[in-house]
Amino acid sequence: MRWPDGYDRIVLNEVDSTMAEAARRAPALAGPAWVLALAQTAGRGRRGRPWVMPKGNFAATLVLRPTEAPGQVALRSFVASLALYDAFVAVTGRTGGLALKWPNDVLLNGGKVAGILLESLGTGQGVAHLAIGIGVNLAAAPGAEELEPGAVRPVSLVAETGTAVTPEDFLTALALAYADWEARFVTYGFGPVRTAWLSRAARLGAVITARTGTTETTGSFETVDDTGNLVLKTPKGRVAIAAADVFF
């Protein structure tokens, strides 16, 4: 499997977190680069939560230098989701059981197998660099004690499919898939990405709950709009939600 043109690859035995390492390296990078760590001592997920990384799992961050407005830049969470979906298909040879959970998780047989974290690196209103952190349970899933109440159970790729893949090989599959979706996003905009994402969405049409720190909204998952918002159909009408944790 070839490596995509134009992307650098940095593989490290151990770091505090690939997101932190990406931030340190970003100013010196000439172009987009993947930072893969075989072990993390202080990995983190959304909202500053710890990201536990058993041995053999995957932790990498892609550093980009985007040119779009911040709102458009953030839509790359959907690009990364589709790339992860395709990487799983590439390494397993099948699509069964895979689904994408808004805003940034990949599900396998109903359990969470991967998560995505976006952070902008820059000053003022602009985004000098974008860091896309990706964690995948290739070899093992963290214990239930690591989860918040009601969260989707974690699963591992090997336990659910019998497919054992090294972090380095998964990175190659992911980098290839990401380069393909990034090219489509840059060329055609969010429309085709949105359509593809919705065709793989978990619980589309079902009743779900979106929670923020202060509010909770329950309704039918109607769509994702053209700015990436989750749209729920509720008894009080349609509600567009920009950021939340989703519970089934």
Q: What is the pLDDT of residues 79-101, one digit of tens each?
A: 999 999 999 999 999 999 999 99
Percent of the chain with pLDDT over 90: 81
Instruction: Name the more confident of 1 and 118.
Output: 118
Range list for CATH 3.30.930.10 in the chain: 8-199
8-199: CATH homologous superfamily?
Answer: Bira Bifunctional Protein; Domain 2 (3.30.930.10)
Say whether pLDDT at 124 is over 60. no
Say whether pLDDT at 150 is over 60. yes
Interacting residues of 68 by C-beta distance below 8 A, sequence separation 6+: none
Q: How confident is the model at residue 42 (pLDDT cuts 50, 70, 90)?
A: confident
Question: Which CATH number is 207-247's, of 2.30.30, 3.30.70, 3.30.1380, 1.10.10?
Answer: 2.30.30
| Residue in 1, 41, 2, 5 with CA at minimum distance from that of residue 21 | 41
Q: How confident is the model at residue 125 (pLDDT cuts 50, 70, 90)?
A: low
8 burial level (CB within 10 Å; 0-12, 13-18, 19+): middle
Q: How confident is the model at residue 181 (pLDDT cuts 50, 70, 90)?
A: very high
Rounded mean pLDDT of 16-30?
A: 93
Q: What pLDDT shows up at residue 26? A: 93
List, edge to edge, every strand of the sheet that includes 58-64.
Answer: 8-12, 33-37, 58-64, 129-136, 111-121, 105-108, 98-101
Q: What pLDDT shows up at residue 9? A: 97
Q: What is the pLDDT of residues 45-62, one digit of tens each?
A: 665 566 678 899 999 999
Range list for CATH 2.30.30 in the chain: 207-247
pTM above 0.85, yes or no: yes
